[in-house]
Amino acid sequence: MSAKDRNAITALWDFFCSLKLTIITLILLAATSIIGTVIQQGRTPQEYLQVYSESTYRLFETLGFFDMYHSWWFLALLGIFSINLIACSIKRFPLVWRTVRNPVLIADDTLFRTLSNMEEYLVKASVAEVQGQLSTYVGQHFAAPVLSEKDGVVHLAAQKGAWARFGVYVTHLSILIIFIGAIVGSLWGYKAYVNIVEGTEATQVYPRGANEPIELGFTVRCDAFSVSYYEGTGRPKEFKSLLTVTDGGRTIVEQRPVIVNDPLTYKGITFYQSSFGPAGDPTFNFRVKVRATGETVDVAARQGERIALPGGGSFRVADFTEQFQNFGAAARLEVAPPAGAPRSFVVLKAFPEFDVQRGGEYIFALVDYKQRFFTGLQVAKDPGVWIVWLGCALMVIGSMVAFFLSHRRMWIAIRPVGDKTGIKIGGSAHRNQPAFEIFFDEFKKNLKTELKV
Amino acid sequence: MLSSQLFNIVTIGYFISMVLFVVYLSTRSKAVVLGGTALAYLGFLVQTVAIGLRWYESYQMLGADGRAPLSNLYESVVFFAWTILLIYIVIDLKYKQRAVGAFVIPFAFLAMAWAQLQLNDAIEPLVPALQSNWLTYHVITCFLGYAAFAVACGVSIMYLIKSGKEEKNASGSPAGGILSAFPSTRILDDINYKSIMIGFPLLSLGIITGAAWANYAWGTYWSWDPKETWSLIVWFIYAAFLHARFTRGWVGKKAAWLSVIGFAATIFCYLGVNLVLSGLHSYGG
């Protein structure tokens, strides 16, 4: 390798180790992410062409703005972000590892000079006495000190929370773990949906953005679906599907209620209550009284079906809703009387006597109705999700450690000075120095009392 | 509702507190600033009671469907004001820099005034999507984070005003007049950093609890919906801020600007996304 190549590699390495790169990448990620919140993602070309001109559409399409979080340039930014993070950690970690594994046991004058809170004083006692007193005191009020001797000077070194220095690396690692989890999920997982009509079953689900259905390998049946509302309002309270899972003829789960915020999981595949809708037209039971004769008949009708009535008239259900202006279920009927023009009016299920007042030839009461529903389920398989949660847990722990704990160190040098003993004491914290100063000042004050200085 | 009347009193309390803090900046009167601080603390206490009361009232009105008051825009704005005061009090107890109140209490007052005057304060039961314990964890962590960023933003504005004035004076001597009531730029920078240090892990937790909830309710922990994306944008900005602290050429004014921009993005994430963009969090609006 030539010197030029080596220079190029060093330059590249320095580039990826630089914190400026970190800041710029983070700002770029923040700024570009805005695009995908302004331009709707993953729509059809037709939908885009309604909003944008053809040339704008082409430009955005080329730039990957319609699926920007998976575009090559956004992924490249995330890649640079990851490499930067790894390079910075590789560069700095060995130094930190050495600091933690081989703590400085002997503080020389140069080190003491860097400590802003260094103090020096003399006591009337022998070196051995002072050493014993100090060891006990530091051990009791800070951490057990390590003793060493060099050139007739006794050194005490004590430290606390050395591992706090790893917090930032745990945080960095956690981001990479989350990325790995996301990649595992996108390679071996899927997001799909399936609509199951009440009383029927499904063995396949349909992934988003693909045509081929996925075989579940087991059967899911929807036994029933229901919506309930808060009393007196149209505000939905609960969407509920009763699901039964059978696998190889064996019933695994029977009539398990699945509601929003309470999914069902089997064999790593999870079913979420997501939507619902009517399956086919509802069927109705009406009680019809002929006003003139008092004759009463019970009739069953499907929506739109024309039903003959006694006396030569007929009717059909033109429309139906489960919730009509807070009055509950209502049907709009079109009645063709034996003579005269057809009439159209609304019958409320909750008020069976109401139609008497209309004064028509026939009096209608909606006795009950049956609407079959389908339940819309989101189906997800994500084997990477636990890796993501591991990463998240590490991120929380790592950032808490990095922000709120610090590596605190203390050094003491004891040397004979004439018939007295000289003490030099200093300490530092790698983060939140002011808080350490408060502790250390108090510590030194109490120490002086202890030593009777 | 009694809680609603209490919230009105709190709003007035924050207003007077804010005025007193501003008066303090020009008069530097100890009595005035003591009054402002006392009103802020008192307002916080009354607001705590009022939030508890609203919680209780929800059970009175909805029976078993009662829930913590954290579920619609009105309740979240009120809670936001409360968290701003909470973080402010923590910082005030630690640093005792009274002038900071003049730049933080206005955020709380504006939030309360908007909630009381404009927003719908009816207590309504939860729609199915929100019926989860994750709602409480998610909302509390997010808003504590937002509040810490609000405090950081207020302090950063002070920093920018003060350092701008000092640069103009050229001599580098500390600025006089109103600015003499400000803490030194070194302390302002420190409070800014400490607030973001509190806010950043909370925001991370807020995003994580949101992701956990989304995964539990919908089967995807991340779907690049505008709210999620904006919370990540905020996260990126403050991550940049934290790294700027260790980088030559990025400390001081640039870091303060990042803090202000970060809070602007936070507010857009909280309100702008619901009012301007559409997505999964639409019920919040």
pLDDT class of B283 with cuts at 50, 70, 90: very low
DSSP letters spanning A389-451: HHHHHHHHHHHHHHHH---EEEEEEEEEETTEEEEEEEEEESS-HHHHHHHHHHHHHHHHHHH
Instruction: Give strand pairing partners of A205.
Output: A214
Lowest-confidence region among B43-57, B196-210, B263-277: B263-277
Q: CA quadruple B33, B34, B39, B41: dihedral positive or negative?
A: positive
What residues of B are in contact with residue A378 (Cβ under 8 Å)? 218-219
Interface test with B, best of A18, A20, A24, A26 (most B CBs within 10 A): A26
Q: What is the pTM of this model?
A: 0.83
Q: What is the mean pLDDT of chain B?
A: 89
Residue with the bigger pLDDT between B279 and A350: it is A350
Q: What is the mean pLDDT of chain A?
A: 89
pLDDT class of A388 with cuts at 50, 70, 90: very high
Q: What is the mean pLDDT of residues A136-152?
A: 92
Whether A385 sits inside 8 A of B211 (CB atoms) is no
Q: Per-residue pLDDT tens for B153-183? A: 999 999 999 988 887 775 555 556 778 888 8
pLDDT class of B264 with cuts at 50, 70, 90: very high
How far is residue A351's CA from residue A358's CA, in Å, rounded to a whole number?
Answer: 13
For A72, the token pair is 């090559």
Q: Are A371 and A282 in contact (CB under 8 A)?
A: yes
How far is residue A443's CA from residue B75's CA, in Å, rounded to a whole number?
Answer: 47
Q: What is the mean pLDDT of residues B1-25?
A: 93
Q: What is the mean pLDDT of residues A287-306?
A: 88
How far is residue A36's CA from residue B273's CA, in Å, rounded to a whole number?
Answer: 12
Share of chain A above pLDDT 70, in %: 100
- Measure CB to CB from residue A388 to each of B128, B197, B221 and give the nearest one: B221
Whether A259 sits inside 8 A of B218 (CB atoms) is no
pLDDT tops 90 at residue B244: no
- CA nearest to A379 within chain B: B219
- CA nearest to B205 within chain A: A396
**All structural domains of chain B with their residue ranges:** 1-123, 127-285
Identify the helix (H) or strand (E) that includes residue A277: strand A269-278
**All structural domains of chain A with their residue ranges:** 3-98, 103-161+406-451, 175-280+374-397, 283-370
Q: Per-residue pLDDT tens for B33-76? A: 999 999 999 999 999 999 999 999 988 888 778 888 888 889 99
pLDDT tops 70 at residue A264: yes
Instruction: Give strand pairing partners of A284.
Output: A301, A369
Q: Are A96 and A165 in contact (CB under 8 A)?
A: yes
Q: Residue A237, SS3?
A: strand
Whether A382 sits inside 8 A of B219 (CB atoms) is yes
pLDDT tops 90 at residue A368: no
The domain defined by A103-161+406-451 carries CATH number 2.20.25: no
Residue with the bigger pLDDT between A350 and B204: it is B204
Whether A41 sits inside 8 A of B243 (CB atoms) is no
How far is residue A199's CA from residue A225's CA, in Å, rounded to a whole number?
Answer: 9
Nearest-CA neighbor of B8 among B124, B106, B115, B120? B115
Lowest-confidence region among A183-197, A411-425, B171-185, B190-204: B171-185
For B211, the token pair is 């992701």
For B180, the token pair is 């003499």
pLDDT at B255: 87
How far is residue A129's CA from residue B233's CA, in Å, rounded to a whole number?
Answer: 60
Judge residue A290's burial from the number of C-beta atoms within 10 Å of its C-beta, 0-12 exposed, 13-18 middle, 19 or more buried.
middle
Whether B128 sits inside 8 A of A237 (CB atoms) is yes
Identify the helix (H) or strand (E) that includes residue B36: helix B30-62
Q: Are A186 and A414 in contact (CB under 8 A)?
A: no
What CA–CA distances, in Å, run from A374 to A208, A240, A270, A279, A324? 19, 11, 18, 6, 21
Nearest-CA neighbor of A197 among A169, A215, A230, A220? A220
DSSP letters spanning A35-81: HHHHSPSS--HHHHHHHS-HHHHHHHHHHTGGGGGGSHHHHHHHHHH
Conformational region of residue B234, where left means phi above 0, alpha means psi within -120 to 50, and beta covers everything else: alpha
Q: Per-residue pLDDT tens for A307-349? A: 888 888 899 998 888 778 878 888 999 998 888 888 889 998 8
Judge residue A348's burial from the number of C-beta atoms within 10 Å of its C-beta, 0-12 exposed, 13-18 middle, 19 or more buried.
middle
What residues of B are in contact with residue A27 (Cβ under 8 Å)? 236-237, 240
pLDDT class of A431 with cuts at 50, 70, 90: confident
Q: Hey, what amino acid is at A32?
A: T
pLDDT class of B284 with cuts at 50, 70, 90: very low
φ/ψ (deg, to 5) at A446? -65, -35
Residues in B whose CB is inside 8 Å of some CB of A read 65, 124-125, 127-129, 131-132, 134, 197, 200-201, 204-205, 208, 211-212, 215-222, 224, 226, 229-230, 232-233, 236-237, 239-240, 243-244, 246-247, 249-250, 265, 273, 277
CATH T-level topology, domain A175-280+374-397: Tick-borne Encephalitis virus Glycoprotein; domain 1 (2.60.98)
Nearest-CA neighbor of A210 among A226, A191, A188, A233? A191
Lowest-confidence region among A225-234, B85-94, B100-109, B235-244: A225-234
pLDDT at A218: 94
Q: What is the mean pLDDT of residues A114-125?
A: 89
Gyration radius from chain A CA atoms: 39
pLDDT tops 80 at residue B203: yes
pLDDT at B175: 54
Q: How many CB pairs under 8 A join A and B?
A: 111
User: Packing angle between helix B253-267 and helix B226-244, nearest 10 degrees?
Assistant: 170
How far is residue B191's CA from residue B154's CA, in Å, rounded to a whole number?
Answer: 10
For A167, the token pair is 């917090």
Residue with the bigger pLDDT between A308 and B263: it is B263
pLDDT at B278: 57
pLDDT at A150: 87
pLDDT at B174: 55
pLDDT tops 50 at residue A280: yes
